[in-house]
């Protein structure tokens, strides 16, 4: 989905929603199955696949079709996996609850359900015909409701994601532009961090703790490079409170820069809080690396640390732009 973009998937969702009352149920279900597959909603995608499939066919081919709807095909056959969950839902939906066929399965595909409804016209005064007609209508309406609810949830989810995506993209564009113009070396350092993190996850032989340690070391260097860019160290220089502002005291320099480049105490507190949180992340990742953590434990934390380094760098550079 990330490659396609939220906008594209949201368009599919909204079209399916807008036309849900104008299209046969099998059309709406196929649309929803496609969207569920794109979003990684495996259980719902597989469930709709079962609703859409006609009876019969070649069992191995049927199983392969189902696996193709799964985000992680290796979960096929897992008793607690999405395919089993989808089957449980399908069986519960299609088991006939009453009448002479109680307990049996109404296993018609959704396409056939539409056809069967029209095969039993209202004017036919026959109990069996009326029962079958109502049974098929119940199947249709249950699936339609499930599809409608899922589409509504996805529309809300993707609309919210789009707002966040646009906010971050606008921020990223501004920060990358400032980095390229004023501190291009930082772009190379960020690239080095990302390479380290990829190595920690993609190469089973990679020393994870070492890669994480190197990534965080580079993040520290990025923060110092930002400090050097916005407020270079001066030997012997101190703040009014007596804090050193030399080359080594880059954190003091950052705090002093924020103090002198913000128009309100609230803005300064916000930036300083982000900076303090980043430094705490540095320390936390150091502890993880010292314990020799596995990639699945340490890498997410290190990735968040890299993201926060980027955000803090962007905020500090933006303060300089605003002061001009």
Q: What is the pLDDT along the chain (324 residues), one digit of tens a residue?
A: 444 568 899 999 999 999 999 999 999 999 999 999 999 999 999 999 999 998 888 888 888 888 888 888 888 888 899 999 999 999 999 998 887 788 888 889 999 888 887 776 666 566 677 777 888 899 999 999 999 999 999 999 998 877 777 777 787 887 888 777 767 788 788 888 888 777 777 765 666 667 777 888 888 888 888 888 888 999 999 988 898 999 999 888 988 888 888 877 777 888 888 888 888 887 777 776 666 655 555 677 778 888 888 888 888 888 866 555
Tokens, residue 153: 């949830």
Q: Would you state the pLDDT for residue 266? A: 74
Size of the chain in residues: 324
Same domain, yes or no: 269 and 300:
yes
Domain ranges, residue 242? 183-323
Rounded distance between C-alpha atoms, residue 318 and residue 60, angstroms: 59
Q: Based on the number of CB atoms within 10 Å of its own CB, is 227 exposed (0-12), middle (13-18) or buried (19 or more)?
A: buried
Rounded distance between C-alpha atoms, residue 282 and residue 99, angstroms: 67
Q: Would you state the pLDDT for residue 117? A: 78
Same domain, yes or no: 195 and 285:
yes
- CB–CB of 178/264 below 8 Å? no
Angle, helices 6-18/25-39, rounded to nearest 10 degrees: 160
Rounded distance between C-alpha atoms, residue 228 and residue 305, angstroms: 20
Same domain, yes or no: 152 and 237:
no
Rounded distance between C-alpha atoms, residue 131 and residue 309, angstroms: 65
**Which phi and psi (to 5°) does residue 18 adopt?**
-60, -30
Tokens, residue 203: 């190469």
- CB–CB of 222/187 below 8 Å? no
Q: Would you state the pLDDT for residue 292? A: 60
Q: Would you state the pLDDT for residue 67? A: 87
Q: How many domains, in total, are found in the chain?
A: 2
Rounded distance between C-alpha atoms, residue 102 and residue 19, angstroms: 34
Same domain, yes or no: 212 and 90:
no
- CB–CB of 105/96 below 8 Å? yes
Cα dihedral 34, 38, 41, 44 in deg (nearest 10): 0
Q: Would you state the pLDDT for residue 3? A: 40
Same domain, yes or no: 156 and 299:
no
Tokens, residue 187: 């772009």
Residue 95 DSSP class: B
Same domain, yes or no: 84 and 157:
yes
- With respect to residue 176, please indicate whether it lies within any of the assigned structural domains: no
Q: Would you state the pLDDT for residue 230? A: 85
Tokens, residue 45: 């995608």
Same domain, yes or no: 80 and 210:
no
In whole angstroms, how far apart are CA 193 and each of 24, 109, 132, 219? 51, 51, 63, 7
């Amino acid at each position: 989905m990330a490659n396609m973009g939220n906008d594209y998937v949201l368009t599919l969702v909204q079209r399916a929603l807008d036309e849900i009352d104008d299209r046969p149920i099998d059309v709406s279900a196929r649309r929803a199955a496609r969207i569920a597959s794109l979003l990684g909603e495996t259980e719902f995608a597989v469930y709709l696949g079962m609703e859409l499939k006609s009876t019969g066919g070649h069992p191995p081919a049927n199983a392969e079709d189902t696996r193709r709807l799964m985000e992680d095909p290796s979960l096929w056959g897992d008793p607690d996996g999405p395919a089993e969950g989808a089957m449980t839902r399908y069986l519960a939906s299609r088991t006939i609850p009453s009448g002479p066929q109680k307990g049996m399965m109404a296993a018609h595909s959704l396409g056939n359900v539409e056809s069967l409804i029209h095969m039993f016209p209202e004017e036919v005064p026959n109990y069996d015909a009326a029962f079958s007609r109502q049974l098929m209508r119940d199947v249709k309406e249950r699936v339609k409701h499930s599809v409608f609810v899922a589409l509504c949830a996805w529309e809300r989810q993707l609309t919210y994601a789009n707002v966040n995506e646009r906010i971050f993209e606008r921020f990223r564009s501004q920060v990358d532009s400032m980095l390229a113009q004023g501190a291009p070396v930082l772009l190379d350092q960020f690239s080095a961090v990302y390479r380290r993190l990829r190595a920690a996850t993609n190469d089973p032989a990679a020393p994870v703790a070492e890669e994480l340690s190197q990534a965080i070391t580079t993040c520290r260097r990025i923060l110092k490079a930002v400090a050097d860019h916005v407020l270079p160290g001066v030997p012997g220089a101190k703040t009014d409170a007596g804090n050193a502002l030399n080359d080594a005291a880059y954190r003091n320099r950052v705090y002093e820069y924020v103090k002198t480049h913000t128009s309100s105490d609230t803005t300064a507190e916000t930036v300083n809080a982000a900076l303090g949180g980043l430094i705490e992340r540095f320390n936390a990742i150091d502890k993880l690396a010292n314990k020799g953590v596995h990639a699945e434990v340490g890498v997410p934390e290190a990735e968040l640390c890299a993201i926060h380094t980027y955000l803090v760098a962007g905020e500090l550079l933006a303060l300089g732009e605003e002061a001009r």
